[in-house]
A = this chain, B = another copy of it.
Amino acid sequence: MTAVVYGVGTSLFGKQPERSLAMLTADAVLEALAQAGISEVEAAYVGNVFGPPGLGQSLLSGLGLAGIPVLNVENTCASGTTAFAEAVHAVNAGRYERVLALGVEQMTAVTAGAIEPDANDAEGKSGLALPSIYAMAASRYMACYGLTVEDLAGVSVKNHRNALGNPRAQYRGDYTIAQVLSSRMISDPLTLLQCCPISDGAAAAVIGAPRNIPTDIRVLSAVVRSGRLWDSRSAHVWGYELIRDTARDAFEAAALGPADVDVLEVHDAFTIAELVGTEAIGLAPLGEGAKLVSSGHTAIGGAQPVNPSGGLLSRGHPVGCTGLAQVAEIVWQLRGEAMQRQVTNARIGLVETLGGGTSGLDGNGCVVAVLST
């Protein structure tokens, strides 16, 4: 069986400490159920990283979805997409006909700045927060491939401009490369506008068995892998191999290749991450991801738009929610409901989420899903 997405929904994204996890969840779940045209599900998978134990049961019971099996799923930044993938597989297996996948996070309750590294692991001991880890990847790319700071900034310009068409995004703006580069330095070479913000938000998808509704979106594959992101013996930067292997599996399961994809949401936690991600997915050869941006290939209107929502950089990054926010964007794009940021003739979409880095060398996961009209 090929599971389909009946409907998606999200909250607004941004710093909104006055809105509880329950309120954010209600926004996302009620919208997803309404679009799906159903009021009940048989099970739920809930992606969250920093909330209290039993969170999913509590949130969903508050919406009248009590009694069902609820699985709280944690896979760092990929928690939302992991919940989505597990829900898809449960439907594919015939366990359920209607399942909810929810991602929700209130980052403002956790930190005011970058996520604190775990003092017990190698990054923590080295004093490396996530911006520094990504900055080291960017520096290595600059040394290896001649990447320039302008190349990096181009990702931020594109994604902030895309978010001008996304009323739910946390930030948006028509910046120049010079403006991106002159924003406050966070970790050289990454400036403020090249780092995803601290965000609160929720996103949901209702997944079910195929039915005769043409706007339902098919899930051709949804692959979860774990792996080592940070390996001094590797010829590649943080995350490249894990994304590459996960995308390869996802394309194989979908019987498609990178050239078939019309629109992508890629885990651009920092500008360098979109470049590494698009290369690892196979849109460009190693070291040539920046050309996808400078040529307009990944702009809305280009051949393969990446992060039309604004991505993590502009839409925001409520950690456990992000994967499902990406799924929601791709579903809207494939349904032709993405308003000013609509990609024309989008038939095949891809979501990539990379998680890890706060808990040791190996506490990492990647999810890639391929969706289709």
Contacts and interface: CB of A to CB of B under 8 A. Distances in A.
A226 B89 contact: no
A67 B227 contact: yes
A303 interface: no
A57 B93 contact: no
Nearest to A319: B53
Interface string A333-364: 00000000000000000000001101111111
Interface in A56-74: 56-58, 60-62, 66-74
A356 B355 CA distance: 27
A245 interface: yes
A246 to B, nearest CB: 10
A97 interface: no
A103 to B, nearest CB: 14
Contacts of A363: 52-55, 57-58, 61
A59 to B, nearest CB: 8
A225 interface: yes
A70 B355 CA distance: 12
A69 B225 contact: yes
A118 interface: yes
Given A70-B226, A89-B90, A224-B71, A365 B57 contact: yes
Contacts of A75: 54, 57, 70-72
A11 B362 CA distance: 22
A54 B117 CA distance: 12
A94 B90 CA distance: 11
A54 B76 contact: yes
A86 interface: yes
Copy count, this protein chain: 2
Contact of A67 (B61, B68, B92, B245): B245
A365 B82 contact: no
Contacts of A82: 71
A225 B52 contact: no
Interface in A76-113: 76, 82, 86, 89-90, 92-95
Interface in A203-247: 223-228, 245
Given A52-B118, A365-B70, A226 B359 contact: no
B52 A359 contact: yes
A359 B54 contact: yes
Contacts of A54: 74-76, 355-356, 358-360, 362-365
Given A66-B227, A118-B52, A363-B57, A74 B76 contact: no
A312 interface: no
A291 B67 CA distance: 30
A49 interface: yes
Given A58-B361, A70-B365, 20 more contacts: A49-B53, A52-B363, A53-B363, A54-B75, A54-B76, A54-B356, A54-B358, A54-B364, A54-B365, A57-B364, A60-B226, A61-B227, A61-B228, A61-B361, A67-B225, A69-B225, A69-B365, A70-B226, A71-B224, A92-B93
Interface of A: 49-50, 52-58, 60-62, 66-76, 82, 86, 89-90, 92-95, 118, 121, 223-228, 245, 355-356, 358-365
